[in-house]
Chain A
Amino acid sequence: MKPLFSTDPIRKTLSRASRAPGHYQRYALSLGIIVLITAGAVLVRDLIVPTNLVMPYLLGVVSIAVLWGRGPAIFASVLGVIAFDFFLVPPYLTFVVEDTEYVITFLALFTVGVFISGLTAQLKDRMVAAREGEARVTALYRLSHDLAAAYSLPDVLETIGANIRMTLGMEVKIHLLASPGDGPDGPRFDVFPRQDTGNGGPLDEAVVAAFRSGRPAGAGTQAIPESATVNLPLVTNRGTIGVLSISGPHPAENGQDEHLQSLEAFANLSALAIERVYLNREAAQAQLLIAKGELQATLLNSISHDFRTPLVTITGTLSSLDTGIDLLDRHSQQSLVRHALAESEKLNRLVSNLLNINRLESGALQLQLEPVDLQDLIGATLEAMKNRIDREIVISLPENLPLVEADFVLVQQALINLLENALKYSPAAAAVELAAAAEGERVYLTVSDHGPGIPADEIPHIFKKFYRVNSGPQPGGTGMGLAIVQGVMDAHAGVVDVCPGEEGGMIFRLGLRRFTMDREVAGAG
């Protein structure tokens, strides 16, 4: 029987069975043993009764059966009977038998020889089978052990390939379904290991056959046996997820069933491992979705609260004007309307912020870069905020401040957000300062307040979306302001940082790239 596993580690396990001498040698050796036994028996034939001399022959036949199997053992039995008759049964050197009792001895020797050789041969087959089974189990165990340590899909595929190559001495291509289902042009697979050239040519029809039938196809199977590869479907609970395509030396006719069985065991183990990777991946995605959902819920809570507050004032104002316009004196009417207007402006800013953050995050934003005069930017910002600024803003700008390269509208939004925070989180009596200075390749714009400041442990979080500082005054806000500042500066490849001021409060700093003529001229050329 041809051994199933043919590579080194396994071959060692099976070598005792297969290092045996060749076919004819076994018969020659059997002959030799019978000759030796006969020679020995001839020396002592005068001392021992011939019937007892049968025993060494029986021992020889049993040994030959154990060592070399049924054929040589039967051969040895026949030889033994002949030699016994010729040399040990009087008259010697003839086949004539004086005492017919010896016929029984011949028959017994022959029958026992044949019987024992049959038994030992069976035993030996079982041993070989057991060893092969053990080798297969060991190989499968090693695969499952290695697979348990592989977490990513590439690792799992690499492990399967390496294991099959090592234990079976065969090359593996793993076809994994690229898109779900069997398209009109047949199933589409990702092939591992990746093909070096092109897309690896047309798909082997045995691969497709195995995928569609869910049964092995190709060499040694009933489907497309002329194929050079054995193809085993990777079947999981969710259906067939791919095909294991194995090429290499295939066993002769009689070993094919077991060969296929062991390949199927490999395929099943592989399918399980790949499915596990898929399941892990899906679990991670599900978790991500849940986290996203929670974030959206938080956002919705925060937003709806912030949106509703101004709406309360607006609705209240409009309804009181609607029902009781005659009951209100002119002054009350005006006061109501002014408040409602301020609230609707706040609502508009909220919507703009939300739009901005969405555009910044989705990457849908295209920067409109232009040379920007920071003094101009500050002027436009103060103009845009003139209704909200409740105190003097102290501005200190150096002469000949260089231009920066920026999107005016976005950086203005960032500055508005910083100023709004400075005004919101510091008492009205505390000054807010705006300054700019060139430093190397950048020009920095700083906004300083003299409020209570931000606790050091909260500083790393303040640029996160929807984060609000937990301590200190709670003037309300969506937690979008600084996230937008961060987003704007990221889009500009600029910097934003924050540090506590020397006299309390915080200093926020925006760093933008200095505008250079070179870039402009190069662009024009």
Chain B
Amino acid sequence: MPDETGLRILVVDDELAVRRFLRTALQANSYTVFEAHTGEEALAEVVGKRPDLVILDIGLPDIDGVEVTRRLREWSEIPILILSVHDQEKDKISALDAGADDYLTKPFGVGELLARLRVAIRRISRQASEPVFETGGLRLDFSMRTVSVDGAEVSLTPTEYDLLRILAQDAGKVLTHRQIFRALWGESYQTEAHLLRVNISNLRKKIEPDSTRPVYIITEPGVGYRLRVADA
């Protein structure tokens, strides 16, 4: 795991109070913080300051967070953490579909923020695909295509395995319904949204200790799913 301290974070929000709070919280955790309060400024600062991660508010006075994400993704793989408020579900999903890594709904706690930051940063630092993924009692061996829970091997259908693999490859990151669907079945099946629900349900029955209280595959209401990583 790389040293996370001293990482450079660009905070984009038009509210001074939010920027101030984020600066204080992040600096206390040894991050270096830059600020921008408009979308245009954010795009310029990503080029100028070369941050390691962007915390991006959805509602900006000039170009909104969704568009900023889209433009950044044209040339950069920089992790983007979206900040949204309660009634911006659609924008949030658009930003995630456009390539944002994760989202936080305001108001949020610092603990939650730091956990999401760590996950997002770890994702880009994990360059070489590791042959094995492990979280809690769940273990995936990508080369063998095997899955075990608490040491006991679990038999999955090919679709269930692929679903779990997709979630595990971006472990900790929220994947939208559309992103998962596209990865599993391609664009053409988009209308059969229930296939995803059914496969998630079946997968949970096989790997979760209690599928009503899942510990591995976490539902993000109205957005998608994420595979929980042990310390996040």
A397–B212 touching, CB < 8 Å: yes
CB contact under 8 A between A352 and B194, given known A379-B213, A409-B222: no
Chain A positions 323 through 355: 1 when the CB is less than 8 Å from some CB of chain B, otherwise 0: 000000000000000000100100010011001
Q: CA–CA, A523 to B211, complex, Å? A: 31
Chain B residue with the shortest CB-CB distance to A344:
B107
B191–A376 touching, CB < 8 Å: no
Chain B residue with the shortest CB-CB distance to A517:
B194
B201 in contact (CB, < 8 A): yes
A30 in contact (CB, < 8 A): no
Chain A positions 367 through 378: 1 when the CB is less than 8 Å from some CB of chain B, otherwise 0: 010111101101
Q: CA–CA, A359 to B107, complex, Å? A: 20
B32 in contact (CB, < 8 A): no
Q: CA–CA, A384 to B214, complex, Å? A: 12
A524 in contact (CB, < 8 A): yes
A376–B197 touching, CB < 8 Å: yes
Residues of B contacting A408 in the complex (Cβ-Cβ under 8 angstroms):
221-222
What's the nearest-Cβ distance from chain B to residue A463, in Å?
Answer: 23
Residues of B contacting A348 in the complex (Cβ-Cβ under 8 angstroms):
107
B89 in contact (CB, < 8 A): yes
| A355 in complex: contacting residue of B87, B90, B109, B219, CB < 8 Å | B87
Residues of A contacting B198 in the complex (Cβ-Cβ under 8 angstroms):
373, 403
Residues of B contacting A520 in the complex (Cβ-Cβ under 8 angstroms):
191-194
Chain B residue with the shortest CB-CB distance to A386:
B213
B98 in contact (CB, < 8 A): no
Chain A interface residue count, CB cutoff 8 Å, equals: 33
Q: Contact residue range for chain B?
A: 20 to 34
What's the nearest-Cβ distance from chain B to residue A403, in Å?
Answer: 6
Q: CA–CA, A441 to B86, complex, Å? A: 32
Per the 8 Å Cβ criterion, residues 128-167 of A in contact with B are none
Chain B positions 161 through 179: 1 when the CB is less than 8 Å from some CB of chain A, otherwise 0: 0000000000000000100
A515–B222 touching, CB < 8 Å: no
Q: CA–CA, A359 to B86, complex, Å? A: 12
| B87 in complex: contacting residue of A344, A359, A376, A515, CB < 8 Å | A359
B89–A412 touching, CB < 8 Å: no
B218 in contact (CB, < 8 A): yes
Most buried by A among B109, B177, B213, B219: B219
Chain B positions 186 through 221: 1 when the CB is less than 8 Å from some CB of chain A, otherwise 0: 000001111001101100000000011110001101
Per the 8 Å Cβ criterion, residues 138-171 of B in contact with A are none
A383 in contact (CB, < 8 A): yes
User: What would 19 more interface pairs be, CB under 8 Å, given A352-B86, A380-B219, A380-B221?
Assistant: A341-B109, A344-B107, A368-B222, A371-B193, A373-B198, A373-B200, A375-B211, A375-B212, A379-B213, A384-B221, A395-B212, A403-B194, A408-B221, A412-B221, A515-B194, A517-B194, A520-B192, A520-B193, A524-B191
Q: Mind listing 10 A-B residue pairs with CB under 8 Å? A: A355-B87, A359-B87, A368-B89, A372-B197, A373-B197, A373-B198, A376-B201, A383-B219, A403-B197, A409-B89
Ranked 5 nearest A-B pairs via Cβ: A524-B191, A371-B194, A409-B222, A380-B219, A408-B222
